[in-house]
Amino acid sequence: MRILVTGGAGFIGSALIRHLLNDTEHQVLNLDKLTYAGNLESLAGVADNPRYRFLQADIGDSAAVSRALAEFQPDAIMHLAAESHVDRSIDGPAAFIQTNIVGTYALLEATRAYWLQLDQARRQAFRFHHISTDEVYGDLHGVDELFTENTPYAPSSPYSASKAASDHLVRAWQRTYGLPVLVTNCSNNYGPYHFPEKLIPLVILNALEGKPLPVYGNGQQVRDWLYVEDHARALLKVVSEGRVGETYNIGGHNEQTNLHVVESICALLDELAPLEGNLGAGMRDGDNAAPHSYKELITFVADRPGHDQRYAIDASKIERELGWKPQETFESGLRKTVRWYLDNLDWCRRVRG
């Protein structure tokens, strides 16, 4: 297939593109605005692949998107471009409304115009795959409840509300105009090339620099963690084999409290980069106050507004219908992730800079 990926320089988008180019014969056009969270270094290993192209453009720029569609002639669009950081959405929601809602609308309209001029066979085979989040469902209060594809939407933050709105737009374009869409809602992703403001890379890098490891509230918020390369495999399954109009929840079967995640990272760092040989900027050899374990850097901070307590995905539908399930456990995926950051600190410095 010829696949147009929006937001392909981001964390999940770049993992998807690496998978498409390394493990399939598909052709890829990466359309990305290159905001603070987009980084072409994440694609350096595939940038010279003859099946890969890059276009710097905003999904809200209808003329640029329409030209790209006309020139590339995609068989599928995988839409990942989004503002995605909850804390940023609380501080400045306008960008989230503009990109996630208005931008998705503009992309849908450009796609619909392109789709309508395709011949009948290509129009029938075309797919618009919208990649979303489990945060649109709000939070769970019991210990046994799981998000299913039929869970009512109850978003809590400006970010999740904007993603919920984009989900509704995509489904409306299918219902009203017949656009062949697929929607996936995923749990928290982690893995290589994750932007350093997110929890797992933030904790790794703060720890290595001897900085406090901030944990919201009491740290008992529960999230389901999905290794990003498992997610990329799931996305390809859905766009290739999913049923038009269907939603598929993608989860890692790895529910962990935020505090346990931070403590697990500290334990891995104690093993792989012990403090004795890795005194960070905030520590000095011979300082009596210097910690002996990274866990001593954990600091509890005021909870953020509207913080959801628990997310957990029921991913049985995608396993039953498409045969996908995650390959990584939380333990194996987290070890790979910590090792990657230890081996790629230069990348982290450049991204933060």
Q: Is 193 a catalytic residue?
A: no
Q: Residue 87 phi/psi, 5° resolution?
A: -60, -40
Closest C-alpha to 277, from 261, 294, 265? 294
Catalytic residue among 32, 83, 135, 328: 135
Query: What residue has token string 């990942």?
Result: 80
Q: Is 139 a catalytic residue?
A: no
Q: Residue 209 phi/psi, 5° resolution?
A: -95, 5
Contact 184, 235 (CB under 8 A): yes
Catalytic residue among 105, 159, 294, 311: 159
State whether residue 28 is helix, strand or coil.
strand
Alpha carbons 115 and 110: distance in angstroms, whole number: 9
Under 8 Å CB-to-CB from 274, ≥6 apart: which residues? Answer: none
Alpha carbons 301 and 313: distance in angstroms, whole number: 27
Q: Is 134 a catalytic residue?
A: yes
For 90, 203, 350, the CA distances from 278, given in Å and listed in that order, are 35, 15, 20
Catalytic residue among 32, 58, 83, 134: 134
Helix or strand (DSSP H, E) at 139: none
Residues forming the active site: 134-135, 159
